Amino acid sequence: MISIKNISKWYGSFQVLAECSTEVAKGEVVVVCGPSGSGKSTLIKCVNALEPFQKGEITVDGIPVGDPKTNLPRLRAKVGMVFQHFELFPHMTVMQNLTLGQVKVLGRSQDEAVHKGTKLLERVGLAAHKDKFPAQLSGGQQQRVAIARALSMDPIAMLFDEPTSALDPEMINEVLDVMVELAKEGMTMMVVTHEMGFARKVARRIIFMDGGRIVEDALKDEFFGTPRSERAQLFLSKILHH
Amino acid sequence: MFSGYDFDVIQRSLPYLFRDGMTFTVTLTLIAMSGGIVFGTLLAMMRLSSFRPLSILSGGYVNLMRSVPLLLVIFWFFFLVPYIGAWVIGAKDPIRVGAFWSAAITFTMFEAAYYCEIMRAGIQSISRGQVWSGYALGLNYWQTMGHVVLPQAFRNMVPVLLTQTIILFQDTSLVYVISATDFLGAASKIANRDYRLVEMYTFVALVYFIISYALSQLVRRVQDRIAVVR
């Protein structure tokens, strides 16, 4: 579904990604973790071309992302993305946030879009808030709306960029629950997160990044059992002890 | 103290001052404001474009307009627009452009440079995440701009845009150099005809003050009401 081959990226002379390669198969949940500044957010943004990269190749559903001939809007519409800071549109109601892409990109009618939006809001437990503005919701609620917004496009895969790291602790679970449910339904997911509980529960593979490199790319049990790199062991010991 | 003055001249000329003069001033302000904001927003988008030639072109235009006196630009356009127009439509003789339309084009072009800088700041005030989030939904550049960035940028900048419009409203009085009859021009004609300079110019100053002051109070009210809650 998503194939990343030898991706390198520089900001000026500073290399943020070095020869990263991995794959996410259909229906697979892959968690990307690593210390801050390791390039994991940048990598996931490269997947739907929000960040350009200078070397290597990424294909999504067989379509090359870096090819200038690729119709990027059409490709991005197929890949849902959830951001650390939610990035709901603050000047639109919750329902307008959910219908914008459906109407403008997929060409659905307003009625269809509202119908779909209502179903998704029910699913994330926020149907009662459809006419509110994002600022009137809590962080956890906003992130659930953001997930619903991404799902409104019927994506073939979902990218999560640290979806819970801007949330207050008591709100993390309501967001993770939605994501776990999604994973169990067989959604293809690439998730940048430090939530190792989530990783244990639903991930098939864990990718550990450090200094712009993929240091470890292993099945979940292998990773938590015997991570080979010292750096990954250190990282795990730090985040699992609290 | 006022024995030598005749303030009655104001009352006698009110219909002319407002029906002819003020209508011209207000119409010109509104046209230049709408045109200037639209053109200025396009300039701002060009200036922020990653395609270098576009941003250089727009930057050059804005810097040129901002470093030339308005009065000079009014003259330039008044004498040049007929020739440019003729060149555009391929006519042999310069086309006729009245003082009003000459002024409207001038002020739109000139103010666009200032509105551009305001809108540029407005667009830059919107976080990159908002743009990403629009793109991630599959919106293209124009849709992301039109539905996500510009509505927020515009709302953030309304107070500054209105303040610039108040300045524009005052600046329109410069059209007297091309003998257009705006509010000041109308008053000036009466003043010279009846030799009532002090009375007329005092009245004109008062009217400009009242309108500008009222508008700036309005700006303060608007400022409190429309900010996007985040």
pLDDT in tens, A170-217: 899 999 999 999 999 999 999 999 888 899 989 999 999 999 999 999
Interface size A-B, in CB pairs within 8 Å, comes to 73
Report the run of H or E that residue A10 belongs to, with start and end: strand A2-11
The beta-carbon neighbor of A81 closest among B136, B151, B152 is B136
Is the CB of B132 less than 8 angstroms away from the CB of A76?
A: no
pLDDT in tens, B51-71: 999 999 999 999 999 999 999
* A91 contacts in chain B (CB < 8 Å): 151-152, 155, 228
Nearest CA in chain B to A139: B230
The predicted model scores a pTM of 0.87
Q: What is the pLDDT of residue B96?
A: 80
ipTM: 0.92
Confidence of residue A129 (pLDDT cuts 50, 70, 90): very high
Residues facing A206 on adjacent strands: A31, A218
Q: What is the mean pLDDT of chain A?
A: 92
Please tell me the distance from the alpha carbon of residue A45 to that of residue B209, in angstroms, as a whole number. 54
Please tell me the distance from the alpha carbon of residue A1 to that of residue B122, in angstroms, as a whole number. 39
Q: Does B229 touch chain A (CB under 8 A)?
A: yes
Q: Does A48 touch chain B (CB under 8 A)?
A: yes
Q: Does B130 touch chain A (CB under 8 A)?
A: yes
The beta-carbon neighbor of B228 closest among A72, A78, A90 is A90
Residue A156: is its pLDDT beyond 90?
A: yes
* A100 contacts in chain B (CB < 8 Å): 137, 139, 147
Nearest CA in chain A to B154: A91
Q: Does A89 touch chain B (CB under 8 A)?
A: yes
pLDDT in tens, B79-122: 888 888 888 888 788 888 888 888 999 999 999 999 999 999 99
Q: List, as one string, the DSSP characters of A166-201.
A: TS-HHHHHHHHHHHHHHHHTT-EEEEE---HHHHHH
Q: Does A71 touch chain B (CB under 8 A)?
A: no
Residue A242: is its pLDDT beyond 60?
A: no
Q: Does B60 touch chain A (CB under 8 A)?
A: no
Please tell me whether residue A56 adopts helix, strand or coil conformation: strand
- The pair phi, psi for residue A2, each rounded to 5°, is -115, 125
Please tell me whether residue A206 adopts helix, strand or coil conformation: strand
Please tell me the distance from the alpha carbon of residue A93 to that of residue A107, in angstroms, as a whole number. 20
Nearest CA in chain B to A81: B136
Q: What is the CA radius of gyration of chain B?
A: 21
Confidence of residue B1 (pLDDT cuts 50, 70, 90): low
Nearest CA in chain A to B137: A77
Please tell me the distance from the alpha carbon of residue A66 to that of residue A105, in angstroms, as a whole number. 21
Is the CB of B136 less than 8 angstroms away from the CB of A76?
A: yes
The beta-carbon neighbor of A105 closest among B129, B139, B228 is B139
Per DSSP bridges, beta strands A205-210 and A29-33 are: parallel
